[in-house]
Each structure stands twice: as C-alpha cells, then as structure tokens.
A and B are shown apart, each in its own frame.
Chain A
Amino acid sequence: MSPPILALEAVSKSFGGLRVIEDLSFEILPGERVALIGPNGAGKTTAFNLITGVFPVDAGRILLDGADITRLPARKRIRAGLARTFQNVRLLAHLTVLENVMVAQYARNASLAGILQPVNLRAGNRWQRAARAALEAVGLGQYAARPTGGLPYGIQKRVELVRALAAQPRVLLLDEPAAGLNPAETEALREQLETISAGGVTLLVVEHDMHFIGAFCRRVVVLNFGCKIAECDADAVGDDPRVREAYLGNQTAFAHAA
C-alpha cells in the first residue's frame, strides 16, 4: 500500500478554553476522495484551517507526503502542493477572473523572478494563456476579462476552484463546494471535480450535501465536537449509530419522548 499523501497525527487546537479539535488523526491515500462531515460547529473548517496553516496547531503533527509541515507557514504549504477553496467564496474583488487565476500561479514559481514575471505586459503571454485555457477547459472562458463582483455565485465557486488548481496542487481541500448551488450547478461542479480527480489530485471535501458525498466520495471521516467519531465508507455512514446520534440526537431519548 502506498504511504498516505496527507496525514494528521493527534492534532489538537483550542481557542481560549474551548477545545475545537481534539486528538484528531486520519490519513488520506494518493488519489483518494475523502469527505469530512459533521454537524455545525464540529470543527470541520477549523481542521481545514489547521491543515492549510491559517492557525498553528497546539499539539500533534501534519504530514504532507511524508514531510512534516506542522510548522510550515501557510504560503509555503500551497507551494508544497496543498491548495484550498473557501467556505464563502473569496475571490479578489479588484482583479478580473483571469487575474484571480493567475494569482495562484505564483505558488509554482515562488521567487523574485516569479514575482517579476510580466504577466500583464503583453496580451496573450504564456501565463495568461495558461489561465485562460484552465478557464476554458471548464466552460468559463467567456468570464475571463470580467471583474469578479456581480458574477453568479455558482460561477464564482467554480472560478475559485480553477484558481486553486492553478497552483497545481497534489492535495486539494474543498470547503463546502456545493453549498448554495442549485442542482444544475452542483452537477457541473461534480463533473469538474471528476476531471480534477481523474488528473490524480487527492481531494478532501467538507460538505453537508449527503447526496453529493454519496455520489462523489468513497470514504468519510465524521467529526463531532472536535473529535473523530467515525471513519467509514460513504455508503455505510448512515448506518453508523454514533453518526446517527451526532446528527439526530439520542434515539432512545426520542423513543421515550414519544
């Protein structure tokens, strides 16, 4: 069996006295599609923020492809191949769609020479062509020159995905990719993710839409109050009594009330 591409080892995080993530461990193999689920406030987004380096962990280790990235600053994690999208779309408002995508290209070329690449000097230079091709590949080419404000929410979410991919990550973290999308947009997103996954990118998805998870992810890690309460196949997650209790409450209590 190949070694895990992403591993959390006994990771903990508190904000003040509140223990948000407690002793969290899980492993993801290269090419896998794993969902991270749990009720609101379970610590899913915090787990993402620890993995991408927004906050430092209090204890434990995070390994990317065997290398310890626990103390690596966020900007260096994406350069190491760990990219993300955001729960509420965060495109850069004063840049065009094309420029938003180009911003993430820097992660592959992080140096003084990289920052001085003349990306906007000549129209149609190789950086613009690469970003435009990435947008066109998912049918978003027509939006390239548009400012990001005023675009439909579903389009913005997919632009954000293209942006994260411009860093050519090995692992992509998606924070609620389907939230706020209508069924047609969710389907377009799923197709886009299938293509990404087929390209060999490992996916870790926080999501509430269980249909989406059932259709897309193989394995599920379930969090509740910052602890991992289950880890199982996506098909079996509904049968696990601990998961049912986390989402629906104690069923014997329901029985008594009834």
Chain B
Amino acid sequence: MSGYLEGVLVLLAINVILAYAAFLPIVAGQLNLGVAGFMATGAYVSAYLTNAHAWLPVPAALAGMGLTAALALVVAVPILRTRGIYLALATFAFGQVVQATILNLNVVGGASGYPVAAHIGAAVIAAFAVVVFVLVYLLFHTRFGISVTAVSDDELVADQMGLSVRWLQTAAFVIGSAIAGLAGALQAHHFSYIEAQGFNVLLSIYIVLYVLLGGTQTIYGPLLGAAVFTLLPELLRGSAQWRYVIFAGLILALMTWRPQGVVTRSLLRRLLDWRRPAAEAA
C-alpha cells in the first residue's frame, strides 16, 4: 500500500471511531461538544504510559481508554444534570478545561507538545475501527439500543415504562467518551506527536457534524458521515484552494436535502423492501 493510501486509511479509521464516540451520546439525546477533550485525555494518558513507563502501545491505548471512561463518569454526574443547549455548553467548557490543563502540564510537554516514541501501525488502527463498529452494532441490537432511543424520544414515557433514564444517559455518555479516548490514543501513537492545541472545539464540532450529516437514526449514519468527511476533501484535492469552498457547499446542500442525515430508518426500510422481491425471484 502506498504511503498516501495508508495515511487516508488511518484518518478514515480514526474518524469512524470518533464518529461513534459522538454518536452514542447523541442517540441518548445529548450533544457532546467535548469529544476532543476526551480524545486528548486518552491520547496524553496512553502517550505518558508508553513514554515514561515503557508500556506497550496497545495496552497503553486501552488503559487511556479506561481512564477516559473513569473521567467521563466523574464529569457525567454534574454535566448530565443540564439539558439541551446548556449540556452542549457544559461539555464545550469541559473540552476547554482539558485543553488548558494540558497546556500547563509540563510533565507532558505543556504548550510545546508531546512527542510519542512508540508506534501503532495502520493495520492495528483499522482493526480497532472494525472492533468499535462491531461492538456498537451489537450494543444497539440489544435492549440498550431501543432503550436509549426511547429516552431521547420521550424521557417521561421512558421513565414510566421502567427505564432508568439517568443510568442510560450516563452509560451512553461514558461509553462514547471511552471510544473518544481510544481514538486519541491511536492517533497519538500513529502520528508520533500530540499537542493540546490540536484537540480544540473545532475538532469536536467536526466529529458531531460527521454524525449529524450521516444520520443519527441508524448505526450506519456515523460510518457514512465519517467516510464522506474523510474522503471528500481528498477527492477534491485536485482543485487546491477551492476545495474547502466546494466542501462547505456540499455540507450545506446535504443539510438542505437530508436534514435528518443521509442514512435514515425509512431509507433503510425502502432499500430492504426493494431488495426483498429481488431475492424471492432468485
């Protein structure tokens, strides 16, 4: 594989993982604008473990993921008391706090960034993306899937039907954040260098956009959204300075024509109905 293709593959895999990090809370009715903050946590924790304590990179990445989950659980208690736009603002503030904290942590390089010696290759990152997708697929085909959808549709009804609204929201938030931590750890060990400035709110917004444009109603939306967002700028590379203008125009067009996202439940249903008669004929 050429270096360029491998680079695109890694970007694609990391973006797919990140898309699911944002997807989980969104499905439970929460807009998490602090994804980059959780990503940074996973990246710095795992990088510190490989650099300073000579951990192997994959166990370090998993440890970074675990610690991110623990941090998410701690912040979920106050943050998930807020609702709607206030929740979005609280998660945004969390992202800023993480960024500012890292900038002042000299043990991991502070503002000058943190080189990472250990390396994780493209194949391992791609494998992680597949594992994340499969786990999310399995999770959303359990009762958890219909339960979080019920919570975001109507909290009162969910509560009256016996679901633990707060438990489900916390679980979605923590699992999503853990996935973001994993993505951060993988990125840190592939690109060999991380800096706090890279984990900014623009990154969080981009990740949320993957999910919103891909569609939040099915688990295939984030996959498609992340793929389009990763590959489209590459395909538009030919037109140099105009590519971001075209890219932005395409985003606006998508929002106009498919406000529910590209992949919706009704679209999947129509595809299945269209396939079924064909299968019976064969």
Give chain A's interface residues, CB within 8 Å of chain B.
52, 54, 73-76, 78-79, 84, 86, 90, 92-95, 99, 102-107, 110, 114-121, 127, 147, 163, 167
- Please give, as numbers and ranges, the residues of chain B lying within 8 Å of A127 by CB-CB distance: 143
Question: A118 touches which one: B142, B150, B217 (CB < 8 A)?
Answer: B142
Question: Which chain A residue shows the least CB distance to B149?
Answer: A94
- Indicate which residue in B149, B157, B165 contacts A90 across the interface (CB closer than 8 Å): B157
Roughly how many angstroms separate A59 CA and B152 CA in the complex, as a whole number? 32
Contact B157 A120 (CB under 8 A): no
Q: Please report the total number of B residues contacting A with Cβ < 8 Å.
A: 28
How many whole Å from A166's CB to the nearest CB in chain B? Answer: 9
Find the A residue at minimum CB distance from B168: A115
State the B residues within 8 Å of A (CB): 138, 140-147, 149-150, 152-154, 156-165, 168, 217, 265-266
Task: Name which of B141, B147, B157, B266 has the most chain A CB atoms within 10 A of its CB.
Answer: B157
Does A163 lie within 8 Å of B143, measured CB to CB? Answer: no
Residue of B nearest to A164 (CB): B161
The 26 listed contacts between A and B (C-beta, < 8 Å) are A52-B160, A75-B160, A75-B161, A75-B164, A76-B162, A79-B162, A90-B154, A92-B154, A94-B149, A94-B152, A95-B146, A102-B143, A102-B146, A103-B150, A103-B163, A107-B161, A115-B168, A118-B142, A120-B140, A120-B141, A120-B142, A121-B141, A127-B143, A147-B265, A147-B266, A167-B162
**Contact between B143 and A106, CB atoms less than 8 A apart:** yes
- Select one of B146, B153, B162 contacting A107, CB under 8 A: B162
Looking at the assembled complex, report how far the CB atom of A148 sits from the nearest CB atom of chain B, in whole angstroms: 10
Chain A residue numbers with a CB within 8 Å of B159 are: 73-75
Cβ-closest 7 pairs across A and B: A107-B162, A121-B141, A78-B162, A92-B153, A120-B141, A117-B143, A104-B161
Chain B residue nearest to A85 (CB atoms) is B160
Write out the residue numbers on chain A whose beta carbons fall within 8 Å of the beta carbon of B158. Answer: 92, 103
Are B161 and A78 touching (Cβ within 8 A)? yes
- Complex CA gap A95/B141 in Å reads 13
Distance between Cα atoms of A121 and B147 in the complex (Å): 15
Q: For residue B167, which residue of chain A has the nearest CB?
A: A115
Q: Which residues of A contact B165 (CB under 8 A)?
A: 75
Q: Which residues of A contact B154 (CB under 8 A)?
A: 90, 92-93
Do the beta carbons of A103 and B146 come within 8 Å of each other?
yes
A228 to B152, CA, bound (A): 37
Contacts of A86 in B (CB 8 A): 157
A107 to B161, CA, bound (A): 7
